[in-house]
Chain A
Amino acid sequence: KQEVTQIPAALSVPEGENLVLNCSFTDSAIYNLQWFRQDPGKGLTSLLLIQSSQREQTSGRLNASLDKSSGRSTLYIAASQPGDSATYLCAVGVGGTSYGKLTFGQGTILTVHP
């Protein structure tokens, strides 16, 4: 059974810091991994998708890497801003007959203070 763990559970940083969020998964047989952000009481916003054949993806100040063999992904946020405050979730897809099912971590609550 695939399990996804995110560390740390919460992180508070001053504005302008570069930071790293971690995601680990127990079964390396994944086909893609997505990072999402969730604002309080809202839905999920897709940030980055990494296919299993890729090592990293970048979008603006965000960079996500994937190491399937070690079962890890990291989300790097450069020059953090108060607007980055949210819960960040990673989710893995295993393809095959597991249609539509992403397995999520519990999330990292990020607070960026001015």
Chain B
Amino acid sequence: KAGVTQTPRYLIKTRGQQVTLSCSPISGHRSVSWYQQTPGQGLQFLFEYFSETQRNKGNFPGRFSGRQFSNSRSEMNVSTLELGDSALYLCASSLEGRTSGSDEQFFGPGTRLTVL
């Protein structure tokens, strides 16, 4: 069974630009979560999608947005990039996103975003 895939793996952008990252979950998984990882803040939750609906959102500004398609693939978008947005962006998939019981999260390899 193929794992979680993310594209692109690396991105270099300049301040003010926008960027779109893509995540394909494990087949059969309907929940996709996004996280930002930085050396200073560690892993922080961005948002979660299930059946094309955002069900949960972390404490990030509105410049960070996402969506999910009918095949469960998800994209996240960051507009008006700032230097502080440089990070590893990870997506995770699970069957139902319940964060309870046996609903395990599986992570992709991440997209390394550098903002110059």
Interface residues of chain A, those whose CB is within 8 Å of chain B, are 31-32, 34, 36, 41-46, 49, 51-52, 89, 91, 93-107
Task: List, sorted by A's number, 16 A–B pairs whose CB atoms are closer than 8 Å.
Answer: A31-B101, A34-B104, A42-B109, A43-B110, A44-B90, A44-B107, A51-B100, A89-B43, A95-B100, A95-B101, A99-B31, A99-B50, A100-B47, A100-B49, A100-B55, A100-B99
Q: Is the CB of A31 within 8 A of B100?
A: yes
Q: Say yes or no for B75: interface residue by CB 8 A criterion.
A: no
- Roughly how many angstroms separate A52 CA and B108 CA in the complex, as a whole number? 25
Contact residues, B90-116 vs A (CB, 8 A): 90, 92, 94, 97-110, 112
17 new A-B pairs (CB below 8 Å) besides A34-B104, A46-B105, A100-B92?
A: A32-B99, A41-B112, A42-B110, A44-B90, A44-B92, A52-B100, A93-B98, A93-B99, A95-B98, A95-B100, A99-B31, A100-B47, A100-B48, A100-B56, A101-B33, A102-B92, A105-B42
Task: Given A94-B99, A100-B31, verify A107-B42 contact (CB < 8 Å).
Answer: yes
Distance in angstroms between the alpha carbons of A84 and B56 in the assembled complex: 34
> How many residue pairs at the A-B interface have CB separations less than 8 Å?
94
Q: Which of B33, B43, B45, B92 has the most CB of A within 10 A?
A: B43
Give 8 closest A-B pairs by Cβ, nearest first. A100-B48, A93-B99, A95-B100, A31-B100, A100-B33, A44-B107, A100-B97, A104-B43
Q: Chain A residues with Cβ under 8 A from B105's Cβ?
A: 34, 46, 100, 102
Q: Which B residues touch A42, using CB under 8 A?
A: 109-110
- Provide the bound-state CA to CA distance between A102 and B31, in Å: 13
Q: How far is the CB of B60 from chain A (nearest CB, A)?
A: 12
If the complex has contacts A43-B90, A46-B105, are A101 and B100 also in contact, measured as CB distance less than 8 A? no
